Structure 1
Amino acid sequence: MQAWQPTTSHQARQARAELLRTIREFFYSRDVMEVDTPLLSHGTVTDEHLDAFETQFNFANSGEPTTLYLQTSPEYAMKRLLCAQSGSIYQLCKAFRHEGEGRWHNPEFTMLEWYRLGFDHFALMDEVDALLMATLNTSPSDKLTYQNAFITYLDIDPLNTSDEALLKAMELHNIDIHQPQMLSFDSKLQLLFSYCIEPQIGMKKPCFVYDFPASQAALAKISPRDSRVAERFEVYFKGAELANGFNELSAFEEQRIRFEKDNQKRQSAGLATKPLDEHFLNALEAGLPDCAGVALGIDRLLMLKINATHIKDVINFPVSRA
């Protein structure tokens, strides 16, 4: 007989409700407005490392069947609101990523995303730190650059190294991947980071890693201080990658070029290309105010709050029981 019961305890469900209330109070006290955006969209992410769920909609106004995508994050729609003069905003919503189940991941999960007008990524890191102190009672965080993280833990300068050096490091650290020479330069960096650096940072207090390589900019601005890096950060705590934030790119031409390059990478990797979100690009053309934004995983945050060992302990019905 198929199990019908939730995988959470009543105490975990109470902890989720308390966490959501704390988050809403945090943003209310800072005059950041809560918003709501669609989960289904005509466009989707082009990132080669992300895949969205898709479905066919047979009742469009055009009379023709159309493909819609479940959103991997509310980012594009929220930025359309920013372009429409919404002011600083946040959202608590479901997000979907077509990836395997695991300790830290369920294909359907809860995300907190927010955007702060007039902030750069340094100011936003401080606010994320304040939220973690409010929700997890953490100590003030550590901060280090992506470059210094690699130099400290791997004795490699990621901004001035070669494919051969990365392959040697992967071999030295027993990262056993089929045909590693076929991986892109950034994929090699990501593997080394996840296997060799992540387990050594953020164990006692959160650790912010910032100034990622420009090739991993995603939707972040390139640093005016060093064109080799992007104004992007990630947050790690007790083995979890909690958040990913940017000083947001506002140049629509550059954003379109990045999306098109993503699709070229997808083609090279044998993956299907994805439709660009033209509504988002048109909004950028109208003008995105200077802002910084970040996405944070609520389920992972709750796992840390109640010392859960698996994401199923904080999601009532994970995909295996949905």
Structure 2
Amino acid sequence: MDKRRNSEIGTWRKLGVVGVPVSKGQRRDGTEKGPQALRDGGLVERLKKIGCDVKDHGDVNFGYLDEDLPHENVKNPRNVAMGSLRTADEVEKCLRTEGHCLAIGGDHSMAIGTIMGHARVHPDMVVLWIDAHADINTPLTSDSGNIHGMPLSIKVDQIAWIGLRDVDPGERKIIEKFGMNAFSMHDVDNNGIKEILKKALDAVDPTGTKPIHVSFDVDAMDPTHTPSTGTPVSGGLSVREMCFIAEELALTGRVAMLDIAEVNPNIGDEKDVNQTVNSTLDVVSRFYGHRRQGLFPTNYEIPTAILRRNSLINAS
């Protein structure tokens, strides 16, 4: 956490954007509209304004199948599997061309494909899963059969959770059995977000050298900030805490992949949707260099009159 890049974060970053309009990982329509809602909210413009060289790759073509019967308690298995493979291909291509990828979704089953694609490029990557939910169910432990609660299938020492506050009993058993790195909102309240982020990073990447995959479900934040999401849980992270996480991770210079999941424009009224999109974009921009203390513009020269005035003030 102490190895910082210079104050011009954002200006050095080439970034590809991939839309992942998946909604079959859960029961509510609308998350397929999330990518466009974020674009309409000014995502690309915000990133360019802070100095990112952005290429929008458009949306993954899911091409849903009309008939997709459940398999062993898993709903929509063929659609999610097919979409995940296509997502992995697009993410891999984006990472190999731009070096950094922002995947905008879409329900959190999107992470099956984004992690797969990222692992093809950086097999040693680590995952920070920022979410109210652990999403580590299996078909045997899931009550719902919704795949957005089952996307995680990586080595136990590759992942750390931040913001948990709604964990199923089966998930809790898995986490405890394997001694996984899970930090709940109780831990955040008890230790503060700075300490929790440090613990999470030290747990998965003690050398501070590995590429980081951040998978951010907007329901990690309190519903007062992101009301237009499918499984809200009270008592979540504040925008302020999420901005701190994003700014600190940006300073590492190692965030190769960022997922934004579970923005659902079908939930709530126009005010709710706007608030959700704006809160989300405030956080996203911090991952790519927008800092609350302000950015130092690379091609800005301080006017001579101001320099002369300050010189006289200092002299006196």
Q: What TM-score, normalized by structure 1, do the two folds share?
A: 0.28
**Which structure: greater strand fraction?**
1
